[in-house]
Amino acid sequence: MDPWEKKKWLVVLALVFVCVGGSIWQERKALPEGPEPQAVVQQEKATKEKPPRITIYISGAVQEPGLYQVPPGIRFQEALAEAGGVTEEADLTRVNLARKCKDGCQINVPFLKKKAQKAGTAPSSREAVPSAGAGNGPGQGAARRINLNQAGVEELTELPGIGPALARRIVEYRKTQPFRKAEDLQQVSGIGPAKFQKLREWVEV
């Protein structure tokens, strides 16, 4: 074979090897990037499979009013369970428990109106609030007060608006921090300023 012809074939073979080697190198370089689209797909799939949640506001005669994250479309009755259920003062006849929840909606449970007030009659001795001009001494007909640091669950349920669940919560609270004054009762979950005003005359420490 002519030397020139031999050199020409050697150059051709060298070019072929370079092209093949470059192609293999490019394929290997692209391998680590391969799984990335799959990871993105898996992440999107996980996001889609995660159940959506909506925010609703529960207020009124419930154990723990506030904002709650719930599945969309659940009934009002199911949503009230998230707030610990209703209190003994709840008037559920004025709430559509079958209604479905939507994002941003409010569930307000009205309080029962006391029959004594409704009929215009005088409240009972348990509900009567001493007048501003009357004394609060033993001989003045003052109602017996319940000691927040000593009363048991059963005794606490005698207070207006305090059910068994809330009474247990009061007992649990004082185990970690005894009541120093009657106003500390507002630190218990489920007892706000409005409810405390109804209890102020019947509790002491």
* pLDDT > 70 fraction of the chain, expressed in percent and rounded: 66
130: its two tokens: 């001493």
Which spans in 50-123 are helix H? 76-82, 115-119
Is residue 124 pLDDT above 50, yes or no? Answer: no
Residue 2 belongs to a domain? no
Give the Cα separation of 102 and 53 in Å (integer).
Answer: 10
125: nearest Cα among 160, 81, 96: 160
Q: What is the mean pLDDT of residues 132-143?
A: 38
Residue 27 lies in a domain: no
Q: pLDDT above 90 covers what percent of the chain? A: 25
**Overall domain count for the chain:** 2
Name which residue leads in pLDDT, 26 or 121.
26
Per residue in 77-115, pLDDT (tens digit) is: 999 999 999 998 999 998 999 999 999 999 999 998 754
Domain co-membership, 102 together with 147: no
- Whether residues 149 and 105 share a domain: the answer is no
Give bridge partners of residue 90 from the DSSP assignment. 111
Number of CB atoms found within 10 A of residue 170's CB:
22
Q: Is the domain of 157 the same as that of 104?
A: no
Question: How far is residue 185 CA from its own chain's centroid?
Answer: 21
Which of 62, 93, 109 finishes a domain? 109
Residue 162 domain boundaries: 143-205
The domain boundary residue, chosen from 64, 84, 109: 109
> Domain for residue 151, yes or no?
yes
- Please spell the DSSP secondary structure of 124-174, one letter per residue: PTTTPPPPTTS--SGGGTPPPPEETTT--HHHHTTSTT--HHHHHHHHHHH
What are φ and ψ of residue 105, in 5° steps? -80, 160
pTM, two decimals, is 0.38
Report yes or no on 197 lying in a domain.
yes
The CATH number of whichever domain residue 170 belongs to comes to 1.10.150.320
Token pair in block for residue 88: 């003994």
Residue 137 within any structural domain of the chain: no
Q: How far is CA 125 from CA 129, 139, 141, in A?
A: 8, 15, 9
Is the Cβ–Cβ distance between 53 and 78 less than 8 Å?
Answer: no
Do residues 152 and 104 share a domain? no
